[in-house]
Structure 1
């Protein structure tokens, strides 16, 4: 299971608009808003294909955790960028064991806490931070796709910025109602009116903040939209695998 190097590494060979270089393996790039199911679906698609899996959102969450742990002011963009350069991040790309560690601390569960979810947008909208982590993401995609023959990478700007020439680019989306119900069930164990209301600000606020620096509500040219509003988990996975199969054929 490959470990990530700190985000100060130089950019690895990667596809870019108009470029002629490519990742060594097959890349499935998946973007989408909160609650669309992109993390769980992407992970299962990677398992079924025997590919690596990269949750790029976990990288922004890890930086948020690191800043809070070390007392960095999340409203100070320069300080957050400096923290990103020093972030001792290691992120696994095995879909069966996608562990995340910062230094010697396993933060796989910690970065999913509400305190991180409520603050991560402050980190994710800092452009220099996105550039640093983008280079790290490309390196991880290259490593995982080379070792396993392919990788499923998910996030907010994978289809447009990180891997714009991936052979499969998907926008996984769902209605606001469906997304809120899913995230509410995940966080509170229920999707009743009270639970959904408690989740609304976190989900829609995160999307609103992140949309200022990336586009994940409308598919870019060449990106396939998969709407999971009326699909269960198995159906969502099958829909993505169908797009992959068509591309590989």
Structure 2
């Protein structure tokens, strides 16, 4: 009965340190720092949980928004793709070690004849077992592939530019959204203050008109007009307060 061959191979590819072309620096947009998801933002909200200024709100949003983390990861992936594309231009060195043990006649005869070690009185039907160790070393260098490698590098570089542009777009959209919400909140707060002052003024005028009506120095129509204006001002204040709560 023939036993199965037991090959053992160790392949050790090594990238040489020689480059065939100077590397193109990464685009500046790709080098812009984006807060890491694990980084603590420089500006924290107040102890009561409120944000005092617009720069605070913007920085907190940029430091904690997952869409910006995703855009940053896409830029890093594009940088890795560029490094992979450039690796095709580097020379490669490979080492291989093979250890073989077999008792098959065909394998025994092939290996011993190839090595020039076949004994004169060898029994071709039962030559015995064989232990053989082989080592090899090779090198390869891609010189030309019809422009495929350079095209791949250019595509990877454009991928970095596209990822950086998308990252900037996400950042700008976040800044615009936070600024819009902040300004809307400020506007509703100022409008609420104005509405409160108007309601207080109308309440004082209505109280004064009622006193004058009792004394006969004012008309009933004046009191009714002030009551209508006060009701309208109170309704407007309620809508403003609702808008402020929605803005929060």
TM-score by length of 1: 0.19
Instruction: Identify which of structures 1 and 2 has the higher relative contact order when contacts are C-alpha pairs closer than 8 Å and 6+ apart.
Output: 1
Name the one with the larger helix percent.
Answer: 2
TM-score by length of 2: 0.19
